[in-house]
A and B are shown apart, each in its own frame.
Chain A
Amino acid sequence: MTTVVIQTIGRILVPFIQLFGLYVIIHGPVSPGGGFQGGVIVGASMILLALSYDLSSAEARASHKVRIAMDSTGALLFAGIGLVALLAGGFFLEYGIIPLPMAPAEVRGIFILLVGVAIGIHIMALAASLFLHLAEEHEI
């Protein structure tokens, strides 16, 4: 039961919402926000697409398989960063020990950003998945 007005507004707004969500993720280390908040915002843009058009158009842009893959990738990326620190000889998730050609403080900053991106990938897939799977028809 969507009208032309809703569809047009939704189509115009979705890229801006996604850009803002990516901005929040990338600027997590320097401004309010981070992976969780930005991921939820990007996931909400897919929900807006599903609400303004229909479920299948949102499903076409982020299919079930893609969402499952992103979901797992985010969690594995976070755990993998922890394991890299372990392999470099430090404690689990001790980023400062990872041998990169720069100061330990900068290395920690880079890995904080990477962890934010991992959380963002995970949450954006999950937020879209929760809505799309709840909204579709089921026979119980």
Chain B
Amino acid sequence: MIKQVASLIVLLGIGIILTMAVIDMPAFGDPEAPAHRHVAPRYIALAEEETGVTNMVTAILADYRGYDTLGELTVIFAAGAAVLSLLGSKHE
């Protein structure tokens, strides 16, 4: 009983802190949010001119952030190799 009450109090405390943190966050899709003022305006202004690609998402994924995409591909490749070596032993 005392355990349950204690865990309830702890959870309520965490919930109140998280709710306060969420309230302090910038509004959803706010163009003035800090995340949208650092490099995003430069991409929006120059991506098409610098890469000759009209889809800005592809330009960022494959060119500006190409190293991230290569890491992502490496992770997927490692996961696939692990699955194939575990399940694909019938084909040896």
Contact = CB atoms under 8 A, between A and B. Distances in A.
Asked if chains A and B are in direct contact (CB within 8 A), the reply is: yes
Interface of A: 28-32, 34, 64-65, 68, 71, 74-75, 78-79, 82, 92-93, 95-96, 103, 105-106, 108-109, 111-112, 115-116, 119, 122-123, 126, 129-130, 133-134, 136, 138
A60 B59 CA distance: 37
Contacts, number: 94
Closest 9 pairs between A and B when the two form their complex, measured CB to CB: A109-B52, A93-B66, A133-B87, A105-B52, A29-B53, A64-B91, A112-B62, A126-B80, A108-B51
Contacts of A123: 76
A82 B81 CA distance: 22
B55 A31 contact: yes
B90 to A, nearest CB: 7
A32 B55 CA distance: 7
A100 to B, nearest CB: 12
B83 interface: yes
B88 to A, nearest CB: 5
Given A29-B54, A105-B50, A105-B52, A112 B63 contact: yes
B74 A130 contact: no
Given A129-B84, A138-B90, A112 B53 contact: yes
Contacts of B80: 71, 126, 129-130
A109 B88 contact: no
A34 B90 CA distance: 33
Given A92-B67, A93-B70, A108 B90 contact: no
A29 B57 CA distance: 9
Interface in B65-79: 66-67, 69-70, 73-74, 76-77
Nearest to B78: A75
Given A71-B84, A78-B69, A93-B66, 12 more contacts: A68-B84, A71-B81, A79-B70, A96-B50, A103-B52, A105-B49, A109-B53, A112-B63, A115-B66, A119-B69, A123-B76, A134-B87
Contacts of B7: none
Contacts of A82: 66, 70
A122 B74 CA distance: 10
